[in-house]
Amino acid sequence: MKRTMRSSKVSLFVLVFILVGCKSKAIQTKEISESKNKKPNIIFLMTDDQRWDNMGCYGKPEFNTPNIDKLAEQGVTFDKAFYAVAICMPSRVTMMTGRYNSNHKVGFVAPEDYTLSQADFAKSYPAILKNAGYRTGFIGKVGFTVTEEATRPSMPNNQLYKKYMGGVFDFFVGTETHDRDGMITWPENDEVLQNIYKEGRQNSGRTLRTGEAMMHFIDTQPANQPFCLSVSFYAVKHDNNNDMFMPHFEQFKEHDFSVPENWVEGDNPVLPDVVKENARGVYLHRQRSSTPEMYQRLVRRFATQGYSVDEQVGFLVEKLKAKGLLENTIIIYTSDNGRFQGSHGLFDKCLLYEESIKAPLIVYDGRVEASKQERRENALISSVDMAPTIVSMAGLQPPASMQGRDITGVLNQTEDLSKWRDAVFMEDLFLVAMFNKRNNKNVDEINQNLIDTNKSYRSRGVRTDRWKYIVYYEHTPRIEELYDVNNDPMEQNNLANNPEHLDILKKLRNQTESLYQKAIQ
């Protein structure tokens, strides 16, 4: 009898152990399944006018960007990412909508000087993710205006943000160009946001304020909802003291930065005449970067701003760790366009040389084990790919309106790169003469006169793995540039008139026209 009772107890213990084990295994399986099906959080970080090589992970450790470098070390760093357009307003719209400048027509100058319609904004990546249940946030420089219908001219209007963007963003802290212009914020009753941007607040640089708002978004994030946060830093553009956090300047104020081989003291005689005579970058170079002293002054100040951004990236990663969010968060880091800083005898951006058109692009995915994502990537990427990629990362289908390509297959190395694109399309539709006349009622006549008098330097072109082709298509006769970027990375030797390269010139000329026709469809 005692043996039978003892045996029964053992049997009962075994049964309970098995049931508990099965339940535990079922719970573990469910957790793994839920983890795989869980929507990732997505953070899109964009700086303003940050040249691609002004950070350590792109070969310039003197800029001191340890947190961005660490993000690059732990993620995928793209070495051949390029802007479809390299000036802030159209570039920002391109990345948010996945459409080329010639297609969305949002820009500074006629005839591509429209606002973005509310219907088109409804097909942007934040709107799509919002409709899919994401909490959406925007912090920083907006750079474009949404209106009910696309209208001309595209003039900034902060007061329209809530009316036309309020249904897309749950959390918003933004303005047009400077955060000292009067921030528009919601939720309107958020006292923390109001304090961050309180007028006259001391010891608070614009990048630090952006970072504080970013941390506040994370702190207010509901536990069971995915989020998509777009952060558009005002740095590293402008270089006045009130655009910088001056304590960060101390480390750079005596440092002599290396000077690019294609930096030009004074004017550059080999630029195309239409550029030398008309482009804004020429006279801005004379004013800002045409002597060694000017160059060092500017780069020290841009390095300061880059360091301030880097510090906020570090704070962001630590905040995500502390909240237990990092392992399910994707962080994308890029800029809206590059900047010449004296290269080619130019300041500014827009023109299609590498310093302007090449983009920093880092993608960190906390869901992926480090060994599978720590690498450099050479696939050709365009800024027009950002929107469809973000939509795809959320497990959604990009709309037909998006012209870019989803790069998630490149990220996870499932893409057959032999079938990937062999060229990226790029364009520059900005004319400073048109910008200066943007409020004139006769802008279309002024534009046509610039074309007729050969003063237009609008251009388009392609960048392949090896070649760069540029055509100033409104000039008569057309002006062409061709560079073997592998052997001439500083773009010093224009091969367009070299008969030995006639075949590649013709090929890229035709490819540019073909990609342009697809862009405007």
Tell whether 26 is covered by a domain: no
* Domain match, 430 and 390 both: no
Q: How many CB atoms are closer than 10 A to CB 225? A: 12
Closest CA to 465 of 51, 75, 52, 81: 81
The pLDDT of residue 6 is 45
Place of tokens 């949002």: 106
Say if residue 176's pLDDT is above 90: no
CA distance 447 to 453: 10
* Domain match, 395 and 481 both: no
* Domain match, 353 and 485 both: no
Closest CA to 449 of 278, 239, 305, 200: 278
Structural domain tally of the chain?
2
* Domain match, 161 and 197 both: yes
* Domain match, 243 and 317 both: yes
What percent of the chain is modeled with pLDDT above 90? Answer: 86
Tell whether 30 is covered by a domain: no
Say if residue 10's pLDDT is above 70: no
Q: How many CB atoms are closer than 10 A to CB 502? A: 13
Check: CB of residue 172 under 8 Å from CB of residue 142. no
Tell whether 18 is covered by a domain: no
* Domain match, 216 and 311 both: yes
Tell whether 59 is covered by a domain: yes
Say if residue 256's pLDDT is above 90: yes
* Domain match, 68 and 109 both: yes
- Neighbouring residues of 246: CB distance < 8 A, sequence distance ≥ 6: 205
Check: CB of residue 429 under 8 Å from CB of residue 442. no
Say if residue 20's pLDDT is above 50: no
Question: Last residue of some domain: 412, 446, 477?
Answer: 412
Q: Mind listing the pLDDT tens digit for each residue in 397-435?
A: 999 999 999 999 999 999 999 999 999 999 999 999 999
- What are the two backbone dihedrals, phi and then psi, of residue 324, each rounded to the nearest 5 degrees? 70, 30
Question: Last residue of some domain: 385, 412, 439?
Answer: 412
* Domain match, 347 and 322 both: yes
Per-residue CA distances from 182 to 161, 169, 170, 197 (Å): 13, 19, 19, 9
Q: Mind listing the pLDDT tens digit for each residue in 97-133?
A: 999 999 999 999 999 999 999 999 999 999 999 999 9
* Domain match, 186 and 238 both: yes
Question: What CATH number is given to the structural domain containing 444?
Answer: 3.30.1120.10
CA distance 366 to 377: 18
* Domain match, 325 and 355 both: yes
What percent of the chain is modeled with pLDDT above 70? Answer: 93
Asked whether the CA dihedral 123, 129, 132, 135 is positive or negative, the reply is negative
Residues in the chain: 521
Check: CB of residue 245 under 8 Å from CB of residue 205. yes
Mean pLDDT of the chain: 93
Tell whether 13 is covered by a domain: no
Q: Mind listing the pLDDT tens digit for each residue in 352-372?
A: 999 999 999 999 999 998 788
The pLDDT of residue 373 is 82
pLDDT grade, residue 28 (50/70/90)? very low
Question: What CATH number is given to the structural domain containing 380?
Answer: 3.40.720.10
Domain that holds residue 510: 426-519
Say if residue 223's pLDDT is above 80: yes
Say if residue 21's pLDDT is above 80: no
Say if residue 29's pLDDT is above 80: no
* Domain match, 322 and 442 both: no
Determine which helix (DSSP H) or strand (DSSP E) holds 96, and give its type and residue range. helix 88-97
Place of tokens 């536990």: 223
Tell whether 205 is covered by a domain: yes
* Domain match, 154 and 191 both: yes
The CA angle 116-182-437, to the nearest 5 degrees, is 50
Q: Mind listing the pLDDT tens digit for each residue in 87-97?
A: 999 999 999 99
Determine which helix (DSSP H) or strand (DSSP E) holds 471, and give its type and residue range. strand 467-472
Closest CA to 363 of 415, 308, 407, 400: 407
